[in-house]
A and B are shown apart, each in its own frame.
Chain A
């Protein structure tokens, strides 16, 4: 197998004595759509926080393309092609949807310009194309704080996609999204990932979504990896069915 895009080695993290990661090692390769499942509070979001530089592990390291990024800031890691969508959408709430998108596009290319407007024809077209793709075409000019939660979630993902990342980390992309919108959202996301050749890692609670879309599943429990493999392999594991999925 080729060298992984992202690799975490021997991560140890504890909060007030509770171990969120206890010597965990994971890796994600080009083209994968890796799902991480596990009970609430088992340390899944902590893993994303470590991989994006938001918190530092007690010990262990994170490598991006073989380079140590453990002690880099979220900003520096983002500039190396790793984008993130959050469980609670992180938007510029006072700004319009289109402005959120155009600023994300400018962040990638053209931020240090104090003369030309943010709203150029080309940038607007690119932003609208992404909003179309993710299903927010009708919300273009709305102030983002006025969007329903599901749409805020979509916008958060669209903003992350606007960075044209190589690796996208998604924290529960379908939470807060209605049951009817869940699969259309995943279809849009998958098509964007394939079209742009983006590798992704996602934390998810919806097992139907995981079963249908993940290329590989990691089961995280009490700071350790309990099982790993293709969705059908993992879901047939009795221990996983009992402890994580809740089906004996």
Chain B
């Protein structure tokens, strides 16, 4: 199996939405691949289709046409339950707001155990990620006891337990200062180095400049793809 088959990919994917009676295209015949072990940055102005692409990659939405594959599986061919199973075992998601990624009543350790239980891996697996991410001293803290950067790194660890085949991050540094951005990008690199295909939608140059691949979207189309 190639690294692309291990990762995520879109082939001729289109998606449009109806707004006030008009059909507005969000993605038009997009081809994107996110190989395993690499960070793929998806960049582009607001409204270019980044979020739609991420929703399609996480199986939270279905394309009008084309195929979306995760670890070699065509999401469109799966039932709702199949997509849920795929998310459970193969996908991780980190959202922009650090508060949106964690459960307020669980400590860091409990988060990691929860993820391990869901993914059916030993409970200690998650804690092994803490040291590389620099948050090993915070295992018994609740989310509100952590800083924004710490929360986002815990969120990355939480999503990466298993590990999944693909980790999708939507503006992971959007609410962080420079110091924390570096820590988060480093964390993503750690995850990618573990063989996970990391797909990050971002405006932040600090992220896409350190990505392995960059896909630029504009008006729902891929206008540039660089390695």
Are both chains from one complex?
no
